[in-house]
Structure 1
Amino acid sequence: MSDLQIGLIALGVLAIVVVLGLNWWQDRRARKQIQDGFASSGKDPLLHGAEPSLPSGARREPALGSLAGGQDGDANVVGGIEAQAESVTADHDKEEVDEACETVIDVSFLEPVPGEELAAFTQGIRHAGQKPLRVFAETTDGLHRAAIRNGENYASVQVAVLLANRSGPLTAGEWAEALSRARVLADRFDGTVEATDTQAVLDCANKLDAVCAALDAQVGLTLVASSRRWSSGDVLTAAREAGFSSIQDGRLPWVDQDGAVRFTLGRSDGVSLGSAGPATIGQLSVILDVPRAPANEHAFTQMAKVARGLAARLEATVVDDNGRPLADGAEAAIDKQLQLLYAKLEQSGLKAGSVRALRVFG
């Protein structure tokens, strides 16, 4: 081996030694800086340090520290976590699927879908037969949405299908239609569909319908013209004076101070009050839809009082379901019976006048 080769080998070994020494010195220096930082804080950063930042709107689960009170050193940390959790929760839409009366079809997308495209496509997903559908969505940031918004990207959609209403339980045909709409949505945006077994869904629908059927009730009074028939104008004028509001679905609602409909007035033959010609109305019905009106201790008494006042304006007689004049004192007995029904509705999770009751008794 020549002197030149030996010299080159020696220089190579020396270079390796220098590089290793430099790396060791830098590593030692870095560890010392980290240890000095720990010593100055006096805390273990894994237990007390700042938590990793989350994307805007990301969900933060409760930490154990929020349950272990009595530690002064943790008070600020716990308060900060709770405040951030409240802020994150506020980013989610409050309206959600009602699992007591709705079943869900999940549509998950393989790629994020812009809100502008998704909103336009989901406009037609509103009904399957006689059952309303509601569309919810989840953004790519994990935020729950009751309405799709422009400027957001979405990872999935949830189609909520009502299990039962006054048209009856969800049928196999209606369920198939809802599934079909969900599959069209999935095909459009390259997604997958997941839903509960058909027979299980139909069984739940039948059970809910049986519960609702046992609790559904309407109490009515009839105003019978005594001397002359009325025009629609006569009825609308007298009804306005009696406190009824504008026509909704062919009937006039009587609304309380909280904005809730207590009972309604309409033609006994079912024809809309807005479409009647002159001098064609001989009977009017005043109806208390028990599940849809908020519980009230004097619900029937109040309706009877308004009916009698309207009858006086129209020169009519107030009769009950059997066609007999409403007897004085009958109101109290009927109100007592209604209290029992209100209690059963609440026990069944269908509180009278609640959003859920309005949904299934619609």
Structure 2
Amino acid sequence: MVMSNLQIGLAILGGLVLAAMAAHAAWSARKNQPRQAAPSDPGDGPAIESQVGVGIEPGLDAAAFDVASFPLPLVEKRASMDALIDVIAPIALEGLISGDAALAAMPPTRRAGSKPFSIEGFNETGQRWETPLAGQRYSLFQAGVQLANRSGALNEIEYSEFVMKTQAFCDAINGSPDFPEMREEVARARELDQFASDHDAQLGFVLRARHAAWSPGYVQQNAARLGFVAGVIPGRMVVPASVAGMPPVLGLSFDTQAALADDPAQSAIRDVAISLDVAQVDRSERAFERMRETALALADSMDGVVTDDNGQPLAPEAMDTIGAELEQLYDTLDQRDLSAGSALARRLFS
């Protein structure tokens, strides 16, 4: 049968419609596919996608905030314990005690409840307080427990555990402890905890995708250009502090499952969190200014928008207000001898 001109025209039109639909489907698929990291130049090493979850962030576990974990400069002759945030019990000795004997008598754990606990000795040779070391000799000891941290104030049960651990150490080395009055120390702990609760600032921005989602590699590649490095947890990146061993200045995190996917390139990320733990970072790092600049730069390069936790866009005026309030907070911490980034502040706000 010979097709009429009308039939031929309809067939052609139908074919064009099908072709247009197929093209639109392909375009939509490309549009909705997560943005990918740009290919690396030869010699640049493995592509960003293969680096998701690689940990090079300095390790910061709970033990890092224990009293005895902050090494003292050699010129220091004072203990790392401080009466400002610690209960301190002096321990008198009948004579010199070796570091080996002290180490053998140390309690197995360095906590009393949720509070860091430690014992330090006064090194006769170095004339400084330190965690007991083998081969050294000590003329005095002191035991300490932290008054407060982010778990709350030291309570009566934790104080009693502190006394028991200290007494056991003293019995082993023939030392005589002098414990402060529990009621007064617990009251002091509650006052310090209240101050810390009122001045604990942990800030967070959320960067949300305007249109296409992002792959983990795309996020990492853009963040790396602004100084972020991969953290110890998949889906986390950090901006390291200018001083080695200090807590990171900023953190960036996204869905851990996306980072651990068999094919991370196909994982769709629609938001990432940028965080700042104010008390942990020295004021000289300009942490909030860098947080703000970083968030805006990422929003520009990744076609995103900076919002608060509730998804509301953050206007420049709101960021200005936050910055001004932080300056007041820094001043208050300085006045209390708990300057942001100091060893005492890092311990208290941990």
TM above 0.5: yes
1:249 deviates by 6.3
Counterpart in 1 of 2:253? 266
For the residues of structure 1 that align with 2:164 and 2:218, how far apart are their CA atoms? 49
1:235 deviates by 3.5
Counterpart in 2 of 1:326? 314
Counterpart in 1 of 2:40? none
For the residues of structure 1 that align with 2:233 and 2:85, how far apart are their CA atoms? 25
- C-alpha change, 1:337 and 1:296, in structure 2 (3 Å) is farther
Counterpart in 1 of 2:240? 255
- What is the TM-score with the length of structure 2 in the denominator? 0.67
For the residues of structure 1 that align with 2:174 and 2:241, how far apart are their CA atoms? 49
Counterpart in 1 of 2:197? 213
- C-alpha change, 1:105 and 1:236, in structure 2 (3 Å) is farther
- C-alpha change, 1:263 and 1:91, in structure 2 (3 Å) is closer
List alignment gaps of at least 5 residues for structure 2. Answer: 1-73
- C-alpha change, 1:179 and 1:276, in structure 2 (3 Å) is farther
1:310 matched to 2:298? The reply is yes
Contact 2:241 2:285 in 1 (8 A): no
CA-atom RMSD in angstroms: 3.1
1:194 deviates by 2.0
Contact 2:105 2:173 in 1 (8 A): no
- What is the TM-score with the length of structure 1 in the denominator? 0.65
Counterpart in 1 of 2:36? none
Matching residue's letter, 2:121: A
Q: How does 1:130-209 map to 2 (within 5 A)?
A: 130-139=114-123, 143-209=127-193
Matching residue's letter, 2:249: R
Structure 1 residue matching 2:231: 3-state secondary structure? coil
Counterpart in 2 of 1:353? 341
- C-alpha change, 1:211 and 1:272, in structure 2 (3 Å) is farther
1:168 deviates by 0.7
For the residues of structure 2 that align with 1:289 and 1:265, how far apart are their CA atoms? 12
1:113 deviates by 2.5
Name which structure has the greater RCO, CA cutoff 8 Å, separation 6+.
2
1:295 aligned residue (257, 260, 283) = 283
Matching residue's letter, 2:237: L
- C-alpha change, 1:230 and 1:91, in structure 2 (3 Å) is closer
Deviations 1:313-336 (A, max 9, x none): 544322124422222454333222
2:329 aligned residue (333, 341, 350) = 341
- C-alpha change, 1:257 and 1:189, in structure 2 (3 Å) is closer
Matching residue's letter, 1:170: L
1:257 deviates by 3.8
Q: How many residues align?
A: 271
1:361 deviates by 0.6
For the residues of structure 1 that align with 2:112 and 2:259, how far apart are their CA atoms? 29
Contact 2:107 2:169 in 1 (8 A): no
Q: How does 1:63-142 map to 2 (within 5 A)?
A: 93-122=77-106, 124-139=108-123
Percent sequence identity is 29
For the residues of structure 1 that align with 2:144 and 2:201, how far apart are their CA atoms? 26
Q: How does 1:21-36 map to 2 (within 5 A)?
A: none
Structure 2 residue matching 1:242: 3-state secondary structure? coil
For the residues of structure 1 that align with 2:75 and 2:202, how far apart are their CA atoms? 41
Contact 1:103 1:201 in 2 (8 A): yes
Structure 2 residue matching 1:195: 3-state secondary structure? coil
For the residues of structure 1 that align with 2:261 and 2:92, how far apart are their CA atoms? 50
